């Protein structure tokens, strides 16, 4: 489970702490370099990745701590 300040999983109804960032874009509406993000706990990473992957939207799956480090510098 997550505390009140931790990022939480994007899966519907899940309140677990996010561990993964799923970077994606919809090529029909986003420029190629644009990245939207979903957060995933360990239990939902594969399901959310498959959902985005089947649609051709998934671009990258990165640990949340690595994503945050990239953003910082």
Model pLDDT for residues 7-47, shown as the tens digit of each residue? 999 999 999 999 999 999 999 999 999 999 999 999 999 99
Provide the token pair at 43.
């239990």
Average pLDDT, the chain: 93
Provide the token pair at 1.
């489970």
The single-letter DSSP state of residue 6 is S
Longest Cα pair distance anywhere in the chain, in angstroms? Answer: 36
Q: What is the pLDDT of residue 4?
A: 60
Q: What is the pLDDT of residue 2?
A: 46
């Amino acid at each position: 489970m997550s505390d009140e300040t931790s990022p939480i999983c994007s899966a519907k109804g899940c309140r677990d702490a996010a561990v993964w960032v799923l970077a994606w874009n919809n090529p029909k509406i986003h420029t190629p370099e644009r990245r939207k993000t979903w957060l995933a706990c360990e239990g939902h990473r594969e399901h959310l990745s498959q959902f985005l992957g089947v649609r051709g939207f998934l671009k990258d799956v990165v640990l949340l701590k690595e994503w945050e480090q990239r953003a910082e510098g």
